[in-house]
Amino acid sequence: MTAPGGRPDPLVERMRPYRSSIFAEMSAAAVRTGAINLGQGFPDSDPPAVVVDAAVEALRSGHHQYPPGAGIPELRHAVARHQLRRYGLEVDPEDGVQITMGASEALAAAVLAFCGPGDEVVVLEPYFDLYAAVVALAGATLRTVTLRPPGYTVDPDELRAAVGPRTRLVVVNTPHNPTGHVATLSELEVLAEVCCDRDVLVVTDEVYEHLTFDDHRHVPLASLPGMFERTVTISSAGKTCSATGWKVGWASGPAELVQSVRAVKQHLTYSGGTPFQHAIAAVLDDVEEVVADLRAALEHQRDLLCDGLESIGLEVFRPDGTYFVTADVAPLGAEDGLTFCRELPERAGVAAIPTQVFYADPDDGRTLVRFACCKRPEVLGDAVERLRVAFR
C-alpha cells in the first residue's frame, strides 16, 4: 500500500481502515459552513458550578504534578463508594479501581490487556467507533451482534451465535451510544447467561450511567450473578458532570482483571489530569444531586429534538438515555445516511452523524442518522427550524 505521492504508507496496515473518524469529518464540515453541530456529543453549557469550583480549588491547592499511576487515592475510594452505594458492587479501592484518561483509555487498555491475535471480541452494533479501532490495534477480530430499531434490544439467538470458542471478550455498552437504549434486566440476564456459559471476559462501557430518562434505570452487568468476577466496569465523569474535556475515567472490578488493565494503562499515559481527579473525587459522593438538573434538562432537550424531528417527518427512535437521538431520514427521500450527512451542513446548516458507520455492514443502518440532544434548547430549536426549511 502506498500513500499519495508514491511513498510507502507509514500507517501500520491494521489501522488503515481507522485513519479518519466521522466525528472529525462532520465537525470540520460544521466549522467550515457555520452549521449547528449536532454531530459530536458534547454539551454546549458549562458543568454544574460545584464541579467547576472543585477544580478551581484543586488548582489553587497545588495539585499540578503527576498523580500516582493508579490514580489519586481520594478518587479511587470515591469510585469504590459509588459502586457500592449505587449498585451493591464491592471493589477494592487499591487494587480494584484504576483511574484513566477518560473511559477511552480504560477501554483501550482493557482490550489490549485481554486480547491478541486469534481472539474474537464481540460487540453490540451500532458501536462506539473506538471499540473497532482498539480491537484492530490489539490484532484481534471484531464480531458483532446487531441491535435493530425500534427497540434496539439484544437478540438472544444472535448473541449465542456470535459468542463462540474463539471469543475472548464481550463488550457491552449500556446506556448505549448511538441508540440511547438502556438494557433491560431481561437483556442483561441473557448477556450474563451467555457470558457465564461460554466463560468469557466482559468489559462494560457505562459512561452514560447517570443520564437515563423517564423510569429507565441503569443496571451494571457486573451486578448480575456470576458476572462480577469476569467483568471490568468502565465509566467516566465526562458525561455525568458535563465535562467531557476533563477526561477523568475509571475501570473497576476484581483485582486480577483491574491489575491487568493497570499493567497496560501505565504504558499508555502512565497518569494525568491531577486537578480534575481531585475535583471529581470531591463531588462523586453527591453525584445524584450534582447530575439531577443536568439529567432533567437533557430529558427536556431529548423531547424537544424528538418532537421537532418528528414534526418534520423523520421516523424517530426516542432514546431511554444518553446524549443522542437516532432517526430514520428515509421519509425525507434520503437513500443513504452518509451522503445525507455529508450534504446536510451546506443544505440545512446542521451537522449530524450517519449511524451506518457504526455497523460492520452499513446496510444495517443505511438511512439512520444520529443527532446530539445535549445542546441548549434554543440551539436545538434553531436546528429543527433549519431542517424544516431545508426539507420543506
Quick one: cell of 365? 443502518
The verdict on 173 binding ligand PLP (CB under 6 A) reads: yes
DSSP character for 50? H
CA distances from 98 to 218, 242, 253 (A): 22, 21, 9
Answer for which of 205, 209, 320, 328 binds ligand PLP (CB under 6 A) is 205
Quick one: cell of 105? 483509555
Cβ partners under 8 Å of residue 326, min gap 6? 149, 178, 179, 180, 316, 317, 319, 355, 368, 369, 370, 371
Can you name the residues that pair with 143 across neighbouring β-strands?
Answer: 122
Window contacting ligand PLP (CB under 6 A); options: 96-104, 223-231, 290-298, 382-390: 96-104
The verdict on 206 binding ligand PLP (CB under 6 A) reads: no
Answer for which of 26, 30, 39, 41 binds ligand PLP (CB under 6 A) is 41
What number of chain residues touch ligand PLP (CB under 6 A)? 14
**Which residue of this chain has its Cβ atom nearest to ligand PLP in the complex?**
102
The verdict on 238 binding ligand PLP (CB under 6 A) reads: yes
Nearer to ligand PLP, 37 or 104 (CB): 104
* Shortest distance in whole angstroms from residue 64 CB to ligand PLP: 22
The verdict on 43 binding ligand PLP (CB under 6 A) reads: no
- CA 12, CA 137: separation in Å to the nearest integer? 9
* Shortest distance in whole angstroms from residue 392 CB to ligand PLP: 33
Window contacting ligand PLP (CB under 6 A); options: 59-67, 98-106, 261-269, 292-300: 98-106
Quick one: cell of 264? 497496560
Window contacting ligand PLP (CB under 6 A); options: 9-17, 186-194, 241-249, 292-300: 241-249
The verdict on 37 binding ligand PLP (CB under 6 A) reads: no
* Shortest distance in whole angstroms from residue 238 CB to ligand PLP: 4
Window contacting ligand PLP (CB under 6 A); options: 102-110, 149-157, 179-187, 223-231: 102-110
Window contacting ligand PLP (CB under 6 A); options: 100-108, 275-283, 367-375, 377-385: 100-108
Quick one: cell of 236? 467516566
CB contact at 8 A, 207 and 228: no
Between strands 120-125 and 167-173, the pairing is parallel
CB contact at 8 A, 335 and 345: no
The verdict on 231 binding ligand PLP (CB under 6 A) reads: no
Nearer to ligand PLP, 340 or 358 (CB): 358
Quick one: cell of 160? 449465542
Quick one: cell of 62? 497545588
Other CB atoms closer than 10 Å to residue 285's CB: what's the count? Answer: 14
* Shortest distance in whole angstroms from residue 177 CB to ligand PLP: 4
Nearer to ligand PLP, 144 or 173 (CB): 173
Nearer to ligand PLP, 35 or 243 (CB): 243
| DSSP-H helix ranges across the chain | 22-33, 49-60, 73-87, 102-114, 130-137, 156-162, 185-197, 237-240, 255-265, 274-283, 287-312, 337-348, 377-390
CA distances from 110 to 107, 114, 120, 299, 382 (A): 5, 6, 14, 32, 41
Q: Mask of contacts with ligand PLP, 112-141, x by CB under 6 A?
A: ----------------x-------------
CB contact at 8 A, 274 and 57: no
The verdict on 249 binding ligand PLP (CB under 6 A) reads: yes
Binding footprint of ligand PLP on the chain (CB under 6 A): 41, 102-104, 128, 173, 177, 205, 207, 236, 238, 244, 247, 249
